[in-house]
Amino acid sequence: MNPAREEIHILEDDPLVAATVARALEDYGFATRWFRTAGELLAAVARQAPPLAIVDLGLPDRDGMEVVRELRQSADCGVLILTGRDVLSERVLGLELGADDYVVKPFEPRELVARIRSILRRRSQPAAAGKARRRACFEAWRYDPASLTLAAADGSEQILGAAEARLLLCFLEHPNRVLSREQLAANPDLSPLDRSIDVRVSRLRRRLDDDTQSPRLIKTVYGAGYVLTAGVRWEIA
Ligand code: CA
């Protein structure tokens, strides 16, 4: 499969966002086609499935999750959710419905392209048929976002609470990048000014056996936020 020769479908009702996504992809050699409504996309996919569809969740005519489900049931194409909704329950639901990945706006073009390439690569391997469940490996830890389970090297497991899980996922998706409190608090029940972010980070450090006094894994960057200093590898669970 040569992804550069096939059109990646972009389902997005906001023309500015659609243009940004298309430009990012085209800069990296992908061809794209834009659909403003779910109805238009599903009609086109029924004629010919693209290698991958990028689906926004907030759409004028349908709920994006329904579109994900429908694509998964009826078409053989990769599905990436690209949304402003950074809510853990949505992320889990999207992945459970069979989306290959979930990226939150605003996105880093290079990261989006890397995720897309990774989906296309997985899908071009025959064993990758069906839904891929991802697991993050970092240092000696393994984390399964679908079950919120954090496993240690010795096999012991802990199930994270929703808020900690959200925070950990945020770090794992942006390793070695300083994340501001605003980014980490992108959640309706948390304010970036609130100390609860710090409390949650401390709790997460304890879960990860990180030294809360001089942390090694999740470091504090004074005046800026926090950074996960670890390489993260995603594998199919
Ligand atoms: Ca939208």
pLDDT by residue for the chain (237 residues), tens only, comes to: 444 348 999 999 999 999 999 999 999 989 999 999 999 999 999 998 999 999 999 999 999 999 998 998 888 899 999 998 888 888 888 888 889 999 999 999 999 999 999 999 888 775 544 456 789 999 999 999 888 899 999 999 998 887 788 889 889 988 999 998 878 875 545 565 667 788 889 999 999 999 888 999 999 999 899 999 999 999 886
Q: How far apart are CA 207 and CA 184, in angstroms?
A: 18
pLDDT of residue 190: 55
Compute, in angstroms, the gap from residue 55 CA to the centroid of ligand 1. 9
Compute, in angstroms, the gap from residue 140 CA to the centroid of ligand 1. 38
Sketch the domain layout of the chain as residue ranges.
Answer: 3-124, 134-236
- Look up residue 116 and give its two tokens: 């897309």
**Element spanning 225, H or E:** strand 225-228
pLDDT of residue 1: 43
Which residue has 């005046």 as its token pair?
223
The correct answer on CATH 3.40.50.2000 for the domain covering 134-236 is no
- Given a contact cutoff of 8 angstroms between Cβ atoms, the answer to whether 115 and 80 are in contact is yes
The residues placing their C-beta within 5 Å of ligand 1, an ion, are 13, 56, 58
- Given a contact cutoff of 8 angstroms between Cβ atoms, the answer to whether 168 and 176 are in contact is no
Compute, in angstroms, the gap from residue 68 CA to the centroid of ligand 1. 14
- Given a contact cutoff of 8 angstroms between Cβ atoms, the answer to whether 62 and 75 are in contact is no
pLDDT of residue 127: 52
Overall pTM > 0.75: no
Compute, in angstroms, the gap from residue 103 CA to the centroid of ligand 1. 14
Architecture of domain 3-124: 3-Layer(aba) Sandwich (3.40)
Other beta carbons within 10 angstroms of residue 79's beta carbon come to 26
Compute, in angstroms, the gap from residue 66 CA to the centroid of ligand 1. 14
- The count of residues in the chain is 237
Other beta carbons within 10 angstroms of residue 139's beta carbon come to 15
